[in-house]
């Protein structure tokens, strides 16, 4: 059975301070068109569950539609890091990842209804450890792998330099550690710095 680990895009979903909040409306009703309802939405590409394109933090790097879809489909290992403020190799090295090339980190007991200001973050040195172990995708249940107020976004850059794609805003509060099938495809938006993801996992 597949488990949904995606935040629902809805009115009031927390968004980055000052960024475009999510909104949806039926712009043309069935009564108006005579046949169908037609909706429209507006949102930051970094609201809720989303993938970061390297272009998000490096203007010379690839945009989201250029990323290989195979990055986002396959084996993933969920590791429980709840209570750890800065996650480094020392928090992963005792775990047998069973060869999974994708790592999903559970860092908070539940998703907040407000945008979190102080979040668990990734130490930049974790990137080299992950590459050494064949990992090319890192997913987290927070809006960022870096501190919310960071301008250097050191973890983003370190992960990219080591060939690791980032997915943020997952919902892992109801997920046990272990090996899973993972699907988390971002929308194919030309020139975009990121895209919403519908992410699901299935216990192997």
Residues 6+ apart with CB under 8 A from 195: 45, 50, 51, 53, 64, 186, 187, 188, 189
pLDDT of res. 35? 98
Of the candidates 46, 50, 56, 162, the residue annotated as catalytic is 56
pLDDT of res. 67? 98
Give the fold, CATH level 3, of 3-203: Glucose Oxidase; domain 1 (3.50.30)
Residue 120 CB neighbour total at 10 angstroms: 21
pLDDT of res. 196? 98
pTM exceeds 0.75, yes or no? yes
Locate the domains of the chain by residue range. Answer: 3-203
Can you tell me the distance from the alpha carbon of 186 to that of 49, in angstroms, rounded to the nearest whole number?
A: 9
Classify burial at 133, counting beta carbons within 10 Å of its beta carbon; exposed 0-12, middle 13-18, buried 19 or more.
Answer: middle
Both tokens of 32, joined, read 């108006």
pLDDT of res. 130? 98
pLDDT of res. 144? 98
The string of pLDDT tens digits covering residues 75-121 is 999 999 999 999 999 999 999 999 999 999 999 999 989 999 899 99
pLDDT of res. 82? 97
pLDDT of res. 150? 97
Low-confidence ranges of the chain (pLDDT < 70): none
Active site residue 133: no
């Amino acid at each position: 059975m597949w488990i949904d680990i995606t935040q629902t895009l809805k009115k009031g979903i927390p968004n980055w301070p000052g960024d475009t909040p999510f909104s949806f409306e039926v712009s043309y009703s069935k009564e108006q068109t005579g046949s169908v309802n037609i909706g429209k939405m507006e949102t930051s590409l970094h609201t809720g569950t989303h993938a970061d394109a390297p272009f998000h933090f490096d203007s010379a790097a690839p945009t989201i539609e250029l990323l290989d879809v195979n990055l986002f489909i396959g084996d993933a290992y969920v590791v429980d890091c709840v209570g750890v403020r800065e996650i480094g190799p020392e928090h992963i090295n005792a775990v047998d990842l069973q060869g999974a090339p994708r790592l999903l980190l559970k860092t908070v007991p539940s998703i907040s209804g407000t945008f979190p200001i102080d979040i668990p973050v990734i130490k930049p040195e974790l990137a080299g450890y992950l590459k050494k172990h064949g990992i090319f995708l890192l997913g987290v249940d927070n809006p960022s792998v870096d501190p919310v107020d960071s301008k250097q976004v050191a973890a983003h850059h370190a992960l990219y330099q080591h060939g690791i794609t980032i997915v943020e805003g997952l919902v892992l509060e109801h997920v046990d550690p272990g090996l899973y099938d993972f699907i988390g495809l971002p929308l194919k938006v030309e020139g975009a710095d990121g895209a919403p993801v519908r992410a699901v996992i299935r216990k192997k």
